[in-house]
Amino acid sequence: MSSFIIETPKEFSFHQCLHFLNRSPNELLHLTQGEQVQKIIRVHDKTILFSIETDLQNQLVVSVLNQRTTATLQQAICSYVTDWFDLKTDLKPFYALASKDPKLKSLVKKYAGYRIVGIPDLFEALSWAIIGQQINLSFAYRLKQQFVQSFGEKFSWKERTYYHFPAAELVAGLNPASLLALQFSRQKATYVIATANAFASGTISKEQLSLLTFLEAKERLIKLKGIGNWTANYTLMKTFHYSNAFPLEDAGLLQAIRRQLNLSAKPTLQQVEQLFKKYKGWEAYATLYLWRSLSE
């Protein structure tokens, strides 16, 4: 085992990000133990298992567990981790806006350093968003667990099993019946397989979307079967870290706003849009902290 350091911004809390990573016991794509997380990724067709924890200087300590660390491997892991925890985004402008809002000010202070824990793989992000459409989070995680266990690649290390998210090429060849057996609705099974086909055929890719503007990328995603405004915004928030991505219709967001503002009824979409005008350009992070408040 060999370790190296990834420096982090001052406005970063690994503890807060771990809270998010710990939110379901059915999560299979990473393993948390105390203040450490373990994950596998592919680097040049090899499965790499690494762990992350913090030191006293709030730096991330990364340990590669199943390979000797080379400069190339270290660079690949650094790139992934930086993307995973959105370490490049400067949160100071958002915090300055939040300091003027009594409600969000308290949330930012309480959860300081919380960042968008991303989904660097675009197919995984879209599939997870489709799985989560119009169902509660607990059931969504159970569906994801069954999907990953059934079709994801397994990797064993010291009596533990780790998983890769199912490959688009494999999912593209599935029959909807194989997902219906996992309790997917027929509609979700159709959407996930259609999305996989779009990746397998080259119709869409992360590389293609990375060359587009936010609005162009959103329009491109919405052209896919089963991808609407919420799913597109959620994906652009989680995979590309667009701070202006705004999953306006999100049920959790509406619930959080209702609780924070002590409203007697769920806010309308027009009320939410009006409320978020003060966070123009930072809608994703305002949403993130409101989501975080739901665990109180």
Contact 48, 67 (CB under 8 A): yes
Torsion of CA 142, 143, 149, 150, to 10 degrees: 150
Quickly tell me which residue has 């949160």 as its tokens: 91
> Which strand (E) or helix (H) includes residue 44?
none
Please compute, for residue 203, the number of CA atoms within 13 A of its CA located in the half-sphere on the CB side.
17
The one catalytic residue in 55, 83, 101, 250 is: 250
Number of alpha carbons in the 13 Å side-chain half-sphere of residue 241: 15
β-pairing, 46-54 with 36-43? antiparallel
Report CA-CA distances (Å) from 161 to 21, 26, 28, 68, 120: 18, 13, 9, 20, 21
How far is the C-alpha of 32 from the C-alpha of 21, rounded, in Å? 8
CA 232 – CA 237 distance, rounded (Å): 9
Determine the Cα–Cα distance for residues 170 and 223; give it in Å rounded to an integer. Answer: 22
Report d(CA 110, CA 238) in Å as an integer. Answer: 22
| Distance from C-alpha of 238 to C-alpha of 41, rounded to nearest angstrom | 17
Q: What tokens appear for 166 in the block?
A: 């199912």
Q: In the annotation, is 250 catalytic?
A: yes
39: its two tokens: 């994950």
Residue 3: phi and psi, rounded to 5, are: -125, 155
Q: Active-site positions?
A: 250
